[in-house]
Amino acid sequence: MIAGSLILVAPFAEPGLIWRELRFIPADLNEMATSEDPLGPVRVTLVPDLVEAVAKRRTEFLAGRLCAAMALRWASLPTEVARQGRAPVWPSDIAGAITHSDNRAIAVISRHHVGLGVDCETMISAEQAENLHPEIITPTEAALRPALLPFSDFLTLAFSAKESLYKALSSRLLQMPGFHDVTLVGITDDQVHLAFAGTTYRAQFRITAQDCVTLVAIRA
């Protein structure tokens, strides 16, 4: 079920984005609807292959697709998002991405970008970071951590930024890269820079005590 009001404005200074975000509570649902959208009520229903999924999976899927439906409708496009495997398939004239964490779903689309990636991650605990960091970053990347940023928060940011880059590039990749195929090469107060296949990309980020959101927006 939806918890709280819709967010209609991106937290990043990136022109041309249509951003829709909501909070949710996992529940035993097969459909989700809202009447808060400026264009009127919108409803999405569960796809058949997820009917037997656990409540959390069903709710996060519905929340993400509801955000996507609102974003697409704002762009005067059909609201249904096709799928290839678990990945959304967007209309040919836009870029888009969907993400969700434990209680937050976001969809973003644009006609001004050739690739969009958005990712929201619940903050990794210190214990999890100790166990997971060799799979996500190298010692060289770890050395870029700002002194005031706890290591677990830095690892969450690195994980999320790489996920966003993968999503932004997914339509052009024949095979999804691993975490060590993308290298964190720089960080500022609100951006990280990632190197992949000879090109450097920018991931904007926002960190709170609860979660980390990253956005990679590749302009045409």
Q: 175 with 151, same domain?
A: yes
> Is 90 exceeded by the pLDDT of residue 154?
yes
Paired with 193 in beta bridges are 186, 202
Q: 102 with 63, same domain?
A: yes
Contact between 191 and 180 (Cβ < 8 Å):
no
> Is 90 exceeded by the pLDDT of residue 20?
yes
Instruction: Look at the chain and report how many structural domains it folds into.
Output: 2
Confidence category of residue 1, pLDDT binned at 50, 70, 90: confident
Angle at 207 between CA 165 and CA 20, to 5 degrees: 65
Measured in whole angstroms, the distance separating CA 8 from the mean position of its chain's CA atoms is 15
Question: For the chain, what's the residue count?
Answer: 220
CATH of the domain at 193: 3.90.470.20
Q: 76 with 160, same domain?
A: no
Q: 66 with 14, same domain?
A: yes
Q: What percent of the chain has pLDDT over 90?
A: 80
Q: 93 with 144, same domain?
A: no
Which helix (H) or strand (E) covers residue 157, if one does? helix 151-169
> Is 90 exceeded by the pLDDT of residue 220?
no
pLDDT of residue 57: 93
Q: 153 with 200, same domain?
A: yes
> Is 90 exceeded by the pLDDT of residue 67?
yes
92: its two tokens: 């040919």
Contact between 160 and 192 (Cβ < 8 Å):
no
pLDDT of residue 92: 87
Q: 136 with 183, same domain?
A: yes
Question: Which range of residues forms the domain containing residue 91?
Answer: 2-111
3-state helix vs strand vs coil in the chain, percent to 5: 30, 35, 35
Q: Where are the alpha helices (DSSP H) in 6-146?
A: 55-74, 126-136, 139-142
pLDDT of residue 96: 96
> Is 90 exceeded by the pLDDT of residue 4?
no
Contact between 63 and 4 (Cβ < 8 Å):
no
Point out the least confidently predicted range of 3-12, 101-110, 118-127, 145-154.
Answer: 3-12
Paired with 194 in beta bridges are 184, 201
How do residues 103-143 score in pLDDT, each as one tens digit? 999 999 999 999 999 999 999 999 999 999 999 999 999 99
pTM of the model: 0.93
Q: 125 with 211, same domain?
A: yes
How do residues 166-191 score in pLDDT, each as one tens digit? 999 988 887 778 899 999 999 999 99
Average pLDDT on 19-44 reads 93
Paired with 151 in beta bridges are none
Measured in whole angstroms, the distance separating CA 48 from the mean position of its chain's CA atoms is 24
How many CA atoms does the CB half-sphere of 38 hold within 13 Å? 10
